[in-house]
Amino acid sequence: MLQRLEGKSAVVTGAGRGLGAAVAELFSQQGARVAVSDVDAASAGATASRILDSGGEAFGLQADVTSEEDAERLAALAVERFGALDVLVNNAGIASAGTVCEVTPEEWDRVMAINLKGSYLCSRYAVPHMARAGGGSIVCISSASGVIGQQAQVAYNVSKHGVIGLVRCMALDHAADGIRVNAVCPGVMRTPMLDALSAEQLDALEAMHPLGRIAEPEEIAEAVLHLAADESSFTTGGVFLIDGGLTAM
């Protein structure tokens, strides 16, 4: 059976662990060649090594998505190594807690730089390569927090709302180039971000979701795959909630 990303090349940011790693490995299983990017070089290399060990094609590289130079280099290297850049997954992100009075200006700037500016910069340098090749797909990871308000999460929520705005604008701006742009909005996922939480806190997070549990990264990766593949060829500007019913309440 033909693999869903056969012949395509992809860049996945924040792919050293968690959702990014799950996306990169799933993409490889579906035939894509993958540039595995992470701010931590060892983590990027570990994900790329797993792909190579399973017979896929990948390379890992250290890149800071808040750096214009790194964002430009990331897109250029993917084209240099693979001959094209068909899919970009803007996944790199960080969590943040606090009210507007508690979040420092430095923390605010850091969250906006990684969660929002990073998606802007990586897209800015991927779009010209995609346009010259006749099109592509950009998937930005927002969050259920990007469509609702939540207490004591002001910087994180605002950054994820911003990602959705970015997606909708890029979808309109680059439709004529054949570039589709969509957002995936997960609920709480079982990623290393949760490692510091107590069993009671994890129970509370699970109870927030009508399905009674939190998501596995592989479940969210399947939604990203759908938007990256040609099967979603008439889908752009979409905001897809994969949140276990969290925002339905």
CATH domain 9-242 topology:
Rossmann fold (3.40.50)
9-12 and 87-90 beta bridge pairing: parallel
pLDDT recorded at residue 154 = 98
Mean pLDDT on 44-56: 98
pLDDT tens, residue by residue, 198-244: 899 999 999 999 999 999 999 999 999 999 999 999 999 999 999 99
> What's the pTM value of the predicted model, to 2 decimals?
0.97
DSSP-assigned states of every residue in 7-29: T-EEEETTTTSHHHHHHHHHHHH
Low-confidence winner among 149-153, 195-199, 216-220 (lowest mean pLDDT):
195-199
- CA 185/CA 160 separation, integer angstroms: 9
Helix (H, G, I), strand (E, B) or coil at 209: coil
- Under DSSP, the state recorded for 151 is T
The residue ranges of every structural domain in the chain are 9-242
Q: What is the mean pLDDT of the chain?
A: 97
pLDDT tens, residue by residue, 75-118: 999 999 999 999 999 999 999 999 999 999 999 999 999 999 99
pLDDT recorded at residue 133 = 97
Nearest to 5 by CA among 59, 47, 44, 57: 57
**Total length of the chain:** 249
Q: Which residue has the tokens 């090349």?
A: 9
- CA 9/CA 203 separation, integer angstroms: 39
Catalytic site includes residue 156: yes
Catalytic residue among 27, 59, 125, 156: 156
Cβ 17 vs Cβ 43: under 8 Å? yes
**Strands annotated E in 2-149:** 9-12, 33-38, 57-62, 87-90, 136-141
pLDDT recorded at residue 1 = 58
pLDDT recorded at residue 173 = 98
pLDDT recorded at residue 249 = 83
